[in-house]
Structure 1
Amino acid sequence: MAAVVEKHSIDVVPDSERHGRAFHQFTLWLGANLQITAVVTGALAVVFGGDVVWSLAGLVLGNLLGGAVMALHSAQGPKLGLPQMIQSRAQFGVKGAVVPLLLVILMYVGFFASGSVLAGQATAELTHTNDATGIVLFAVVTAVMAAVGYRVIHILGRVASVVCALAFVYLGVRLLDRVDLGDLLGDAHFSLPMFLLAVSLSASWQLAFGPYVADYSRYLPRDTSAKATFWWTLSGSAIGSQWSMTFGVLVAASSGGAFLDNQVGYVVSLGGAGLVASFFYFVIALGKLTINVLNTYGGFMSMVTGISGFRGQRALSQRGRAVYIALIMVAGTAVALVGKDSFLASFKDFLLFLLTFFTPWSAVNLVDYYLISKERYDIPALADPRGRYGAWRWDALVVYAVGVLAQLPFLATHFYTGPLVEPLGGADVSWIVGLVVPAVLYWALARRDTSHVPERTILGTPDEPGKRGVSPTVTGAGAA
């Protein structure tokens, strides 16, 4: 068991402990996306007024665009051997990285909660308890899996990718037996706002993985192809999410109010009754367990990254790990219990509002990694506020703030709608603005002074105690 429980957290993974293949990113992200919340996300495109054809087209486009950005982050993991957000210190400063980190932690808690609502319903059916008890039981299992760490997360992804894929094939066949697919596809009426809503829903789904996707590729051998990591991550995430979302679109378009009243119960009813129903409740819980473990694991490492920037902490004890994971679990469970009765109404706005804060971070991170630093970082300096990256990098923080503010006129949510939404026919294009504006601004500012960029990547890994070693294998930029 000791060999299975993970020892590392925010520290760099040494070459001697690297393992796995790029293909494992495919199974992890396929399994993480074949799940009920992705089904609901796809259904929202129809629930809020879209037709089947253009909702599917919009979801495909969003999954590919957002998935490509997400996969570019994944390709960073093998090169640096670091969790995603600690690398943000190179852009925002050792302490300045806490600004996007606070929002990332909020995201993890929110996704943990939304996932627990649906998984709690399935768990309650399996254990013959109520939804609140199901949510708590599911949260405890999630926390235990996250505490074990990286190896069990990938094993869970492989199991879920097979079990959930088979289940979705069966459910898809059952659904097509009940509906007239020709009628659904024949009722196509293009609406730009509804099309862009579908694009935004799936793009936000993919982009929200960005702050933690490299956490699950950082153990891959350093010489793992960046292209392989990129394509396996993109294909697993885009195929899994589009598969689930397509199912959600067809269910929402054909079920009327039955799906809206009880998302989990309706999906299970497609499979059958008795033992078959129990199996599909298990499948739903398994799919949600996979993604909620990712949320918990990424959440605790983001908390450690934020706090350690001020404490100078480079590693974390097993006890400290358990405490951080427990905090994420308790916070997410509390939100789930409070909001379980208004889940569907709030989930769309939650997804789209999150996008406002993560697209600027993603733009800054990717421009710095691929265009400014060109994959060359001083890893020990990421823990030193007096080092080359400093405590606060105000140029990046200002660009981040401008990126957030630039989106507000284009943002369309239930609680806030920007002044430029109506002239655009009600379409929400804020996420496009949030990617383009900060990317261009950061590139223009950062390229003027690259004195903080080392000539080659500086490691200083546990393989070389006390040394700031230079890796002969990490040079320049590798295409992804």
Structure 2
Amino acid sequence: MAQAMVEQRSIDVIPDEERHGTAFSQFTLWLGANLQITTVVTGGLAVVFGGDVVWSVTGLLLGNLLGGAVMALHSAQGPRLGLPQMISSRAQFGVRGAVVPLALVVVMYIGFFASGSVLAGQAVGKLTHLGAVPGIILFALVTGAMATVGYRVIHALGRVASVVCALAFVYLGIRLLDRVDLADMAHQHHFSLPMFLLAVSLSASWQLAFGPYVADYSRYLPRTTSARATFGWTLAGTVLGAQWSMTFGVLVAATAGAAFVDDQVGYVVGLGGAGLIASFLYFVIALGKLTVNVLNTYGGFMSIVTSVSGFRGQRVLSGRARTAYIAGIMAAGTAVALAGRNSFLDAFADFLLFLLTFFTPWSAINLVDYYLISRERYDLAALSDPNGRYGGWRWTALLVYGVGVAVQLPFLSTSFYTGPLVAPLGGADISWIVGLVVPAVLYGVLGARRARSAPTGPAALPGTAPEACAPGAPLGRDAG
């Protein structure tokens, strides 16, 4: 039984006989992944930076819907292809060219692991009375163990977290309402376009950050699973979980002010009570962060393996190598967390948001190619062959990607860099919108031209196994 729980697959195609589950599993996973303290803090930032309650909640909802829709479109690729998310990038960037966005994704998820470990480590340290540093290390070890077991335990963790964290948030919401005059807050609404766009950007960026690994957790679903169902349940789970947490964060920040900013974990636990209730809430905070940190570790592992295999031609990974990769990510993330637990993480979190600039163009290119140009038809065998249909490096996609990054810079606003067009927009950061729209249009034009010149009939490729191709799909269609 234990051996059946441990995942044997990595970046190879999941055979039909190993597929299982329903699209509803995406709802519980992404609901649990979003009902956690960092999502609360993200929502609270909309008020901390100057927004009011009504328009902050409205902007956050709009951003969650927009970013969540992009994220859910990636999720719908999982059952169709049976592959991790980032390996499909090879169809756009080439088998080796895909390493360009992959390298940045790995850095970002190590950073997310680190920032999450600091908050969770505080909770674990309080819960166990060991202190923050042992709490961070203990949390990292549990995270690594669960990521090593893999897909089944990740979904089981999501189901548990979705229930436990939802109950905790209901309780905390009731406690918060005792301190909040909602009627008074509802009348204090003053629309400010920059603050509204900030709220939209905060939640949209939050959702877009899931894009590079969301299909990792839908790829075991039966191939017959409806793309609409996968999209719908993923969208529902991630939007409901994020909006619930972020709205709570808005109300907490509007009520508590500096007390929340200075100690997010302590304030939320104190809001709930003391004694056994406080211990339970520390456990809930750790559980919520564990869910998303396991996703970060597992997704980072998949991205590293995808990068390495593009040059080594490797399709199957041994259990020992799998453990070594995950241990490396865990060690790197823990080292960053320990080094920056006191002051560094504020600046590092800004750096992580800056990294979002580098994969919103990836997301646009991937979705346009998959849904509009290739029309959900990829030669899966060629995704591992640098001399095959997709080649080693696809310079058109890499050029569009570079343009997609460059056009965002004038609209980007961080503590260490602010673009020249931010001030005319009242301080709003709309770089993520530009980073989606411009490369999507540009790649659509260039990719469509290449697709028209590609062969359109079936083409049997040497060495292509039946399970290596999307069912019913002619292989002759190029991916642009």
TM-score range, shorter chain: over 0.9
Could you say which residue in structure 1 is the equivalent of 2:193?
Answer: 192
User: 1:344 Cα shift?
Assistant: 6.9
Aligned to 2:202: 201
Size of the aligned set, in residue pairs, is: 474
The residue number in structure 1 matching 2:34 is: 33
2:186 aligned with 1:176: no
Matches within 5 A, 1:285-364: 285-342=286-343, 345-346=346-347, 349-350=350-351, 352-364=353-365
Q: Which position in structure 1 is the counterpart of 2:88? A: 87
1:211 maps to which residue?
A: 212
CA contact (8 A) 1:70 1:210 kept: yes
What is the CA-CA distance between 1:458 and the residue it aligns to? 8.4
Shift of 1:129: 1.3
Contact 2:105 2:212 in 1 (8 A): yes
CA shift for structure 1 position 242: 0.4
Deviations 1:260-292 (A, max 9, x none): 121101101111111110000000000000000
CA deviations over 1:341-381 (Å, ceiling 9, x no partner):
23773366245313211110000000000011101111111
How far off its partner does 1:222 sit? 0.3
8 Å Cα contact 2:378-2:469 kept in structure 1:
no
Instruction: Read off the aligned partner of 1:105 and give its amino acid letter.
Output: V
- In the other structure, the counterpart of 1:415 is 416
Please name the residue that 1:256 is paired with.
257
The one-letter amino acid of 1:319's match is R
Question: Is the 8 Å Cα contact of residues 457 and 470 (structure 1) preserved in structure 2?
Answer: no
Larger mean CA deviation between 225-234 and 442-451 belongs to 442-451
Tell me, yes or no, if the aligned pair for 1:156 and 1:290 is still in contact at 8 Å.
yes
Q: Report the residue type matching 1:59 in the other structure.
A: L
Q: Distance in 2 between matches of 1:161 and 1:468?
A: 34
- Pairs within 5 Å for 1:119-138: 119-138=120-139
Aligned positions of 1:455-466 closer than 5 A: none
Q: Name the counterpart of 1:448.
A: 449
After superposition, give the CA deviation of every residue in 1:65-89 in whole Å (9 maximum; x if it has no partner): 0000000000000000000000100
Counterpart of 2:226 in structure 1 is: 225
1 CA distance for matches of 2:76 and 2:427? Answer: 36
Q: Does the CA contact (< 8 Å) of 1:378 and 1:457 recur in 2?
A: no
Q: Partner amino acid for 2:51?
A: G
1:192-232 Cα offsets, whole Å, 9 max, x none, are 11111111110000000000000000000001000000000
CA 431–188 in structure 1, closer or farther in 2 if over 3 Å, else same: same
Deviations 1:370-408 (A, max 9, x none): 011101111111010000000000000000000000000
TM-score, L = length of structure 2:
0.95
Q: Is the 8 A contact 1:52 1:250 kept in 2?
A: yes
Alpha-carbon distance, 1:127 to partner: 1.0
Aligned-residue offset at 1:186: 2.0
The more displaced of 182-191 and 217-226 is 182-191
Q: Contact conserved, 2:380 with 2:469, CA < 8 A, in 1?
A: no
- Cα distance in 1 between the residues matched to 2:180 and 2:461: 57
3-state SS of the aligned residue for 1:49? coil
1:35-74 alignment runs, 5 A limit: 35-74=36-75
Alpha-carbon distance between aligned partners in 2 of 1:457 and 1:250, rounded to the nearest angstrom: 58
Which residue of the partner structure matches residue 400 of structure 2? 399
CA drift at 1:238: 0.4
Q: Percent identity?
A: 75
What is the CA-CA distance between 1:184 and the residue it aligns to? 2.2
Q: CA deviation at 1:293?
A: 0.3
- Structure 1 residue 427: deviation in Å? 1.2
Kept after mapping to 2: 8 A contact 1:77/1:214: yes
Paired with 1:76 and 1:2, the residues of 2 have a C-alpha distance of 28
CA contact (8 A) 1:41 1:348 kept: no
Looking at structure 2, the residues matched to 457 and 205 of structure 1 have their Cα atoms a distance apart, in angstroms, of 41
Amino acid aligned to 1:243: W
TM-score (normalised: structure 1): 0.95
- Distance, in Å, in 1 between the alignment partners of 2:343 and 2:457 is 53
Q: 1:109 corresponds to which residue?
A: 110
Of the structure 1 ranges 401-410 and 450-459, higher mean CA displacement relative to structure 2 is found in 450-459
- Kept in 1, the 8 Å contact 2:147–2:154? The answer is yes
Q: Is the 8 A contact 1:91 1:393 kept in 2?
A: yes
Residue identity in the other structure for 2:379: D
> Higher mean Cα deviation, 77-86 or 337-346?
337-346
Distance 1:227 1:453 in 2: 29
Coordinate RMSD, CA, aligned: 2.0
- In 2, the alpha carbon distance for the partners of 1:57 and 1:276 equals 32
Counterpart Cα distance in 2 of 1:235 and 1:457 = 39
What is the SS of the residue equivalent to 2:397?
helix
Q: Distance in 2 between matches of 1:137 and 1:457?
A: 53
Number of the residue aligned with 2:241: 240
Aligned pairs (5 A) from 1:469-480 = 472-473=471-472
Deviates more, 1:212-221 or 1:451-460: 451-460
1 CA distance for matches of 2:17 and 2:460?
A: 17
SS in 2 for 1:448: helix
**Equivalent pair of 1:52/1:188 in contact (CA under 8 Å):** yes
- Determine helix, strand or coil for the equivalent of 2:335: helix
Separation of aligned partners in 1, 2:223 and 2:459: 12
Contact map agreement 1:33 1:244 (CA 8 A) in 2 = yes
Query: Is this contact kept in 1: 2:59–2:200, CA < 8 A?
Result: yes
Query: Which is further off, 247-256 or 338-347?
Result: 338-347
Q: Distance in 1 between matches of 2:212 and 2:80?
A: 16
CA gap of 1:455–1:50, structure 2 versus 1, over 3 A, is farther
Counterparts in 2 of 1:469 and 1:124: CA distance versus 1, 3 Å: closer
Shift of 1:148: 0.1
Quick check: 1:376–1:453 contact (8 Å CA) kept in 2? no
CA distance in 2, matches of 1:366, 1:184: 40
Equivalent position SS for 2:421: coil
